[in-house]
Amino acid sequence: MGLRKDFLWGGATAANQCEGGYNKGGRGLANVDVVPIGEDRFPIIAGKQKMFDFDDEHFYPAKEAIDMYDHYKEDIALFGEMGFKTYRLSIAWSRIFPMGDEAEPNEEGLQFYEDLFKECHKYGIEPLVTITHFDCPMHLIEKYGAWRSREMIGFYENLCNVIFRRYKGLVKYWLTFNEINMILHAPFMGAGLYFEEGENEEQAKYQAAHHELVASAIATRIAHEVDPENQVGCMLAAGHYYPYSCKPEDVFKAQEADRENYFFIDVQSRGEYPAYALKKLEREGVTIQMEDGDLELLKENTVDFISFSYYSSRVVSTDPKVNETTSGNIFASVKNPYLEVSEWGWQIDPLGLRTTMNSLYDRYQKPLFIVENGLGAIDEPDENGYVADDYRIDYLAAHLQAMKDAVELDGVDLMGYTSWGCIDLVSAGTGEMKKRYGFIYVDRDNEGNGTLARSKKKSFDWYKKVIASNGEDLSV
């Protein structure tokens, strides 16, 4: 048995976390540029504190990031050396449409990605492209209020029309919105939503989500029209919820918490709003404005595959005495006493990946794609600049074993696996460089110092061997 023969092994990045060059090539300003490192970051990404431009008091790591804008050839060559079959990256919307609402795209931005995709193909690497990885042109936020406005659907449609046509033959795997459920937890970073004092936030978030869901369905339709070879996926920040105890109330609460995230994927994959969500929104007084034809669009243009990120499982409890929490991907969770945590408090749970894969496959019966997984850790280069990251290898090996078990023992259909931050990049949650995920070390620190030189960590050769053996050899 084993993994598919054409299993898509690779790594993943996002434009704003690695490209830098925020004002190069005619690129416009975006929400992801103006989220600084430091204690203000979280209120800003949550839409509670306004930051629509740079100021002198903050440092904005995404401005230069690891400058992949000027290093992409070198970086893709290293990915090729590791044997990547795919490279997941995102397009920076404001490189293609600097303001977002122009009629004509920016040729320089289009050319940049065309060159990058051609570079991938030189090494037999198939690009896997996230159309929007948290980014939204700042002009669309200031003029239209970002995704709370229905007009966003048209701007996104323009973007899709342009990129699907321009990159036909170069790209066939697409994801419409990165971690679409993050709109609930990081609404400014996830969807450009900033809330005015007194605004009904739930109403704004779910209305914006509806616009994104319709836009995602339109993108899926156009992708299939432009090239029947195109395959389009949704993307969920996954991580199964465990009830803290077997108390029925805890079990029910875990189901509710899972549904909060599954809601988006239920619409994108099954093509309709699930009954539990309609009831919940009704109870909470949230009314989604829809237009004629929306429900048909959703029904007729479901995704081809389900992609997701997995870093940790999560825990819920109804007992107020169970109140010890720990950090997780953007939002915190009740601490699981059976699990170790990373240096950032994220719970390490390889079996949780297998559980998550089974839940998703049971629910949707469509091929899955793990497009993010990895360990954010502090790497200390030795006197020769070498990072012996055995802790990262251990994390990845355990997760890959759980992934293989889900495929080989449970029969889950899995298209591929792209490890998050295959090259060190800026953390989305904290803005730090110190939180590294890569097989490739980049000399750059939290303050923006460093030569930007790239070097291979121990995990580089390990992952190369994993890929060469199609996952058979996970040994160190």
Residues lying near ligand BG6 in the complex (CB under 6 A) are found at 14, 17, 178-179, 237, 309, 329, 372, 376, 420, 427-430, 435
Complex with ligand BG6: residue 14 or 316, whichever CB lies closer: 14
Contact 36, 84 (CB under 8 A): no
Which among 372, 408, 447, 472 is annotated as catalytic? 372
Complex with ligand BG6: residue 133 or 457, whichever CB lies closer: 133
Amino acid at 167: Y
> Min. distance of Cβ 53 from ligand BG6 in angstroms?
22
Task: Please state, in angstroms and rounded to a whole number, the distance separating the CA atoms of residues 354 and 438.
Answer: 23
> Min. distance of Cβ 295 from ligand BG6 in angstroms?
29
Amino acid at 14: A
Complex with ligand BG6: residue 61 or 105, whichever CB lies closer: 61
Measured between alpha carbons, how far apart are the two ends of the chain, in Å? 23
Bridge partners, residue 194, by sequence: none
Contact 309, 235 (CB under 8 A): yes
**Catalytic residue list contains 343:** no
SS3 letters for the chain? CCCCCCCEEEEECCHHHHCCCCCHHHCCCEHHHCCCCCCCHHHHHCCCCCCCCCCCCCCCHHHCCCCHHHHHHHHHHHHHHHCCCEEEEECCHHHHCCCCCCCCCCHHHHHHHHHHHHHHHHCCCEEEEEEECCCCEHHHHHHHCHHHCCHHHHHHHHHHHHHHHHCCCCCCEEEEECCHHHHHCCHHHHHCCCCCCCCCHHHHHHHHHHHHHHHHHHHHHHHHHHCCCCEEEEEEECCCEEECCCCHHHHHHHHHHHHHHHHHHHHHHHCCCCHHHHHHHHHCCCCCCCCCCHHHHHHHCCCCEEEEECCCCEEECCCCCCCCEECCCCCCEECCCCCCECCCCCECCHHHHHHHHHHHHHHHCCCEEEEECCCCECCCCCCCCCCCCHHHHHHHHHHHHHHHHHHHCCCCCEEEEEEECCECCCCCCCCCCCCECCCEEECCCCCCCCCCCEEECHHHHHHHHHHHCCCCCCCC
Complex with ligand BG6: residue 126 or 372, whichever CB lies closer: 372
CA 453 to chain CA mean position, Å = 25
Task: Please state, in angstroms and rounded to a whole number, the distance separating the CA atoms of residues 436 and 254.
Answer: 31
C-alpha to C-alpha distances, 448 to 62, 295, 315, nearest whole angstrom: 10, 47, 36
> Min. distance of Cβ 334 from ligand BG6 in angstroms?
19
Task: Please state, in angstroms and rounded to a whole number, the distance separating the CA atoms of residues 456 and 423.
Answer: 9
Which single residue brings its beta carbon nearest to ligand BG6? 429
Residues noted as catalytic: 372
